[in-house]
A and B are shown apart, each in its own frame.
Chain A
Amino acid sequence: MSDPSSDNTLSVRDLRVRYGEREILHGISFDVPRGETLVILGGSGSGKSTLLRTLVGLQPASSGEVLIRGQDIAKMSAEDLDETRKKIGLSFQGGALFGSMTVGENVSLPLREHTQLEESTIQIIMRLKLEQVGLAGFENYMPSQLSGGMKKRAAVARAMAMDPEILFFDEPSAGLDPIIAAGIDNLILKLKKAFRMTIIVVTHELASAFLIADSMLLINKGDIVAHGSMEEMRNSTHPRVRQFLDRVPEPEVSEEMDYLQMLTGEAPPRAL
C-alpha cells in the first residue's frame, strides 16, 4: 500500500493537549497496528485519561494529530466524525450505562439509532452481545440492579454493539475485586482472540496489563517514558519504568525545615 499509516488502525502524531494554561500532554506519538492490543500505563495524574479522551474525540487536541484509519479526527466534518465514532467502542470506567434504560435497551440503543435493522434482529444482536460478556438473561435488569463488575460487562456489550474496529477500555479493573477483575481481563483476551479487534486499554493495574497487552506504553507527566513489547518493558532499565513496575513510591520530602515551612506556609512551596 502507498499510505504507510493504513496498516495502523490508530496513529498519534506529536499530540499536545492543554487545559487553559496547563499542558497535560507534551507531544505524544505512537502507532497501533490493526488487531493489536495496546495497554497505556500511567499513574494518577500522568495524563493517561486525557490521552484516552483525546483519542476518542471527547477532548480536542491543542496541536498534533489523532489518525483513526489514516484520517485526522480533528479535521473531520461532524458527520464524518460520527461515522468514525460508530466504528469505535468505549467502555467507561464506571460503565456509564444510561440509568433510565434497561441493560438490553442500553446495548440496543446504538443499533436502534444508527441502523435500519428490524426490531427482532436488534433483539437477537443484543442478546448475543450480552451472552458474549457473560450477561445472558440480564437484558431486563436496570443498571442500578447490577454489581460493579456486571455493569462493566454490560458497558463492554454496549461498546461492542456496532461491531467496532477499535475498542477502548478506561480502567477496566478499577474498583473491582481481584476475581472479578481477572474475569474482565479474560473477557478482553477472549474478545481479542475471537474478533481480532484493535484494543486500547488505559490502566494502572500491572497484573492485568501483562496479561492482555501486545505492547505497552508508559506515560508519566504527559510524556511517553517507554513504548515496547512486554519483554522490553520487563527488561527495561529506565528508572521511571523500573519505579512503576517495581512499585516504588515517590521519595518523600526529606528536609525537616522544608516540611516546617510547608506547614507554616511561610516559604513559597518548592516546585515538585
Chain B
Amino acid sequence: MAFFDSVGRNTIGGLAYVGGLARLSGRAAYFTLIGPFKGKALRWSRAFHQAMAVGIEALPILSTITFFVGLILALQGAYELRKFGALQYVAGGVAVSMSRELGPLMTAIVVIGRSGSAFAAEIGTMKVTEEIDALTTMALNPVQFLVTPKFLAMILMLPCLTTWADFMGVMGGAVFGVTGANFTLHGYVQATLDALLVRDIVTGLIKSVMFGAVITAVGCYEGFETGGGAEEVGRSTTSAVVMSIFLVIVVDLVFTSLFYVLGR
C-alpha cells in the first residue's frame, strides 16, 4: 500500500508542479501578448537588460563550450567514418548534429546554469525579503513586473545564442577538418553548407524557443515557491537547475520525435 501511496503522491505532486508552471507561463504570456492591448505597457527596458544578461554576457562561455563540442563531434565522428574511408562526411555530420541537437541543447544547458539559476535566486531572495509582497501592495503585479521581461528576453535571445552556438560548433569541427581530414577551410565550410538543410536549422531554433520558455518558467516558479529563509533560496536555485535540465531534455525528446515523424 505504501508503494501505491507514494506513487500517487508523486504523480499528484508532479502534475501540480507542471500545472504551476503552466499557470505562470500563461500569465506571463498574457502580459506579453494581450497586456499591451489593455494599456499594460511592456517593459522593454527591463527586457533589454535581461537580454544583455541572458544573451550577450553568455557569449564567451557559450562560444568556448560549443567550439569544443564541435571539435569533439568531429573527432568522434571521424573515429567511425575513417573505417569506411568516409572522412569527408565529418563536416556534414558535425553541422547536422550541432544545428538539430547539440547547438540548442548546449545553449540551453549554459543558459540554465547562468540565468535559470539566477532567476530563481533573484525572485527567491525577493520573496524572502518581502519585496514580492511590496510589489503586490504597490499594485505592481510581480509576474508582469519580474517574469514577463525575462520571458521576452529568453524567447528572443535563445534562438540568437543557438545560431551562434551552431556556428561555433561548425568552427570547432573545421579545426579537425583542416588539420586531420585534408579539408581546406573554404572546402569545409562548403561541405557544411551542402549538407545542411534549412529544416535542420529551423527545427533547432524552434526547440531553442521552447527551451527558453521552459527555463524561464522553472526558474521563476522555483523563485516564487521559495519558503522563508536564506537556505531556502539555495534550495530553490538548485532545484531550478535540476528541474530545468530534466524538463529541457523531456521537451527535446518530444520535439525531436515530432520532427522525426514530420520529416519522413
Interface residues of A (CB under 8 A from B): 53, 56-58, 81-83, 85-86, 88-90, 92-94, 96-99, 109-110, 113-114, 158
User: Given A96-B129, A99-B129 in contact, is the A90-B134 Cβ separation under 8 Å?
Assistant: yes
Contact between A96 and B139 (Cβ–Cβ < 8 Å)?
no
| Other A-B pairs, 10, CB within 8 Å; known A85-B137, A110-B138, A114-B139 | A58-B137, A85-B138, A88-B137, A94-B129, A97-B131, A98-B131, A98-B134, A99-B129, A110-B140, A113-B140
List 9 tightest A-B contacts by C-beta distance, closest first: A96-B130, A82-B139, A85-B139, A96-B134, A90-B137, A92-B130, A110-B138, A96-B131, A86-B139
0/1 interface trace, chain B 91-109, chain A, CB 8 Å (1 if under): 0000000000000000000
A90: which B residues are within 8 A, CB to CB? 134, 137
Which residues 117-153 of B have a CB within 8 angstroms of A?
125-126, 129-131, 133-134, 136-140
B130: which A residues are within 8 A, CB to CB? 92-94, 96
Least CB distance from B47 to A in Å reads 15
Please pick, from B125, B136, B137, B138, the residue contacting A109 in the complex, using a CB distance under 8 A: B138
Least CB distance from B228 to A in Å reads 12
B138: which A residues are within 8 A, CB to CB? 85-86, 109-110, 113, 158
Interface residues of B (CB under 8 A from A): 125-126, 129-131, 133-134, 136-140
Residue of B nearest to A90 (CB): B137
Give Cα distance in the complex from A94 to B228, angstroms: 14
Residue of B nearest to A114 (CB): B139
Give Cα distance in the complex from A97 to B130, angstroms: 9
Please pick, from A58, A83, A94, the residue contacting B136 in the complex, using a CB distance under 8 A: A58
Residue of A nearest to B130 (CB): A96
Residue of A nearest to B38 (CB): A79
Least CB distance from B14 to A in Å reads 21
Least CB distance from A19 to B in Å reads 13
Least CB distance from B259 to A in Å reads 40
B139: which A residues are within 8 A, CB to CB? 81-83, 85-86, 110, 113-114
Give Cα distance in the complex from A92 to B133, angstroms: 9
A–B complex contacts, Cβ < 8 Å, 5 sampled = A81-B139, A97-B131, A98-B134, A110-B138, A114-B139
A53: which B residues are within 8 A, CB to CB? 133
Contact between B131 and A99 (Cβ–Cβ < 8 Å)?
yes
Residue of A nearest to B134 (CB): A96
A92: which B residues are within 8 A, CB to CB? 130, 133-134
Least CB distance from B37 to A in Å reads 15
B131: which A residues are within 8 A, CB to CB? 96-99
B126: which A residues are within 8 A, CB to CB? 98-99
Contact between A96 and B140 (Cβ–Cβ < 8 Å)?
no
Residue of A nearest to B132 (CB): A96
Least CB distance from A92 to B in Å reads 5
B125: which A residues are within 8 A, CB to CB? 99
Give Cα distance in the complex from A90 to B131, angstroms: 12
Residue of A nearest to B41 (CB): A113
Give Cα distance in the complex from A88 to B133, angstroms: 14
Give Cα distance in the complex from A83 to B133, angstroms: 16
Least CB distance from A236 to B in Å reads 33
Least CB distance from A133 to B in Å reads 16
Give Cα distance in the complex from A109 to B139, angstroms: 11
Least CB distance from B26 to A in Å reads 15
Least CB distance from A104 to B in Å reads 16
A86: which B residues are within 8 A, CB to CB? 138-139
A56: which B residues are within 8 A, CB to CB? 137
Residue of A nearest to B145 (CB): A113
Least CB distance from B48 to A in Å reads 15
Give Cα distance in the complex from A96 to B129, angstroms: 6
B136: which A residues are within 8 A, CB to CB? 57-58, 85
Give Cα distance in the complex from A76 to B110, angstroms: 44
Least CB distance from B30 to A in Å reads 12
Least CB distance from B126 to A in Å reads 8
B137: which A residues are within 8 A, CB to CB? 56-58, 85, 88-90
A98: which B residues are within 8 A, CB to CB? 126, 131, 134
Give Cα distance in the complex from A264 to B133, angstroms: 42
Least CB distance from A166 to B in Å reads 11
Residue of B nearest to A87 (CB): B139
Give Cα distance in the complex from A86 to B138, angstroms: 6
B140: which A residues are within 8 A, CB to CB? 109-110, 113
